[in-house]
Amino acid sequence: MTDNRLGTAISPYLLQHADNPVDWREWGPEAFAEARERDVPVLVSVGYATCHWCHVMARESFSDPGIGELLRQDFVAVKVDREERPDVDASLMASASAFTDQLGWPLTTFLTPEGHVFFAGTYFPPSPVGQVPAFRQILAAVLDAWTDRRHEVDANASAIAAAIRQGAEADRTAPRGAVGGGGAPRLPAVGEIRAVVDQLARAEDTTYGGFGGAPKFPSAPLLEFLSDVAADGGEQASALLDRSLHAIRTTELTDADGGVFRYATRRDWSVPHYERMLYDNAGLLAVAGAEQARGIADFLRDTLRRPDGAFVAAQDSESTIDGRRVEGAWYRLPLDERGRLDPPPLDDQVLTGWNGLAIRGLAIAGARHGDDEMIALARGAADAIVAGHLTDGHVAVRSSTPRGTSTAAPTIEDVGLLAEGFLELALVTGSVHYAEVARSLVADGVAGRFDADPVLAAAGTATGEQPQTAVRSGTVALAAAAATLAALTGDQSLRAAAASLVADRAVTGTGRPLGHADALGVALALGRPSREVVVVTSDPDDPMRSAALAARRPGTTIALMNPTQARAWAAAGFELLAGRADDDGAAYVCHDRVCALPAHSADALSAQLSDASR
């Protein structure tokens, strides 16, 4: 028997381990207090509900009664869902990098009762495989070090924690992006940013498309950066983007129903790792062509969408066939045969930030491709998040499931991604409500209103959000939202805040674009003169709307609305719309909110936009 405490967890990943013979606890001060009282190390195992190798380790190791008893006697065992607690995952990943460069999930870490990592790895098999030891061997070695070489354990753990603490302190105090020891935030020059495309061209897999070898990821933030440079006139970036999207669309990485898998295990995009994440698909929506975007939107609507309109986090790689869990088998069936079997289960968490990413992608794709259903899906998700996760315009909930709301605190990912998504939706629908909520979210994000986890705070190992290759950064999204609000309101302090948020990441990204591509895209927009395009018309089919959308490029804010909506925006303090409601069927091209005479036809608007781009 076990005292496993996960039976009432909100997280679906933790619930998957509720029947383990391991005495799991949830992350929190209580677990570390027990470890101090017993003077034992803390095992923290991090994963997520649709992670195949997490499932494998659970079946092989955490379902073993002998391992469960060993962990009960000599450890405090803690389970963490990285989707629910990205702050904990980021901190442990930073510490784990001292032990291995093969980082991923499951993440297996051993901590002192003070919360400092002294050993880490990822998946450990039940028996040794090559140079990878068995999990029992790892546990024995950890206990040996803890018992017989405790001074080494404590010294190494303290050194790693000190390095993380120093890095986090440097991030907090150094002028962002400054060079030469001080000064205002320095964004890379536009030429420096565009030159990154040359690096990416050299890294392109010219045989199969995409970048690098196996495993091969869709890397939506990187593709969006190429899209930004392409819109800025970069022909090489446009060609790279088209070839990458073609490879993703026409290979096994895209399922027959339009959804995209997390990655391919082979260089030619074959043999996918079959889990399907909301963030990959949402990110690709922002850059995909009409057919590809429609397929992704269908997948979101038919598979990940809840009845209230919000989107859940992911679909599993495994399904149960003939009583056995099998990876990928359901996906390999033709669409018309899948209905006879139970589909792979869903990770039923609704994550605020990831829904913001989906709202943004659907709004961008819906406007670009003239697809009203995509915009309706974005509205549905936005309204569900407002109803369930926000209080008076502030994020109150990071994660919820049908079982309740998580106690995990919202992060900058939630605030930044949601603010950016709401602004995109507001600008294509004309609904000022979403813009007002976004303004409140940006204020929270710029003010840094986030509470550090008490365990990480006490340990001094809270790292904040780390750069990622697969998900648009909340920090970067916050910067983009702040820059858009500066264009809409005239508040230039917001543009300065945007530059401060992305400058250091963008400077790093000019040399190492993977992980920083999203920051490069926002820095490119900030490096261009601010341009605003406003179309005020009662006719939803007015061709000026399409002409305005065709002008989307870095540094340009496009607002589409009818006269009634324009009055509401002006009344809410969005100065760009002041006085725009009196001329129904007019379009304005502005630079830093100084506008040319209104255009009254698509041809006239296009001519103004063409003149302004020279």
Can you list the alpha helix ranges (DSSP code H) found in 300-339? Answer: 335-338
- Residue 135's nearest CA partner among 127, 144, 146, 143 is 127
pLDDT of residue 176: 45
CA-wise closest residue to 375 among 323, 440, 434: 434
Which three-class secondary structure state does DSSP give residue 254? strand
Distances (CA, A) of 143 to 62, 72, 139: 18, 13, 6
Confidence at residue 102, expressed as pLDDT on a 0 to 100 scale:
81
Whether the CB-CB separation of 80 and 45 falls below 8 Å is answered with yes
Predicted confidence at residue 467, as pLDDT, reads 85
pLDDT at 1: 43
- Measured CA to CA, the distance from residue 522 to residue 420 in angstroms comes to 12
Is the whole-model pTM more than 0.85? Answer: yes
Q: What is the mean pLDDT of each run of 10 residues along the chain (614 residues)?
A: 79 96 96 98 97 94 95 98 96 92 92 96 91 93 96 93 79 45 75 97 96 94 98 97 98 98 97 96 98 98 98 96 92 93 96 98 97 98 98 97 96 97 98 98 94 92 90 97 97 96 96 95 97 97 96 96 98 96 96 91 95 61
Closest Cα partner for 450 from 401, 491, 506, 394? 394
The C-alpha atoms of residue 351 and residue 479 are separated, in whole angstroms, by: 20
Measured between alpha carbons, how far apart are the two ends of the chain, in Å?
Answer: 74
Q: What confidence score (pLDDT) does residue 170 get?
A: 59
The per-residue pLDDT for 172 is: 55
Stated as kind and residue range, the H or E segment containing 137 is helix 135-148
The stretches of 220-308 forming alpha helices (DSSP H) are 220-231, 235-250, 278-285, 290-299
User: Which H/E stretch holds residue 35?
Assistant: helix 29-38
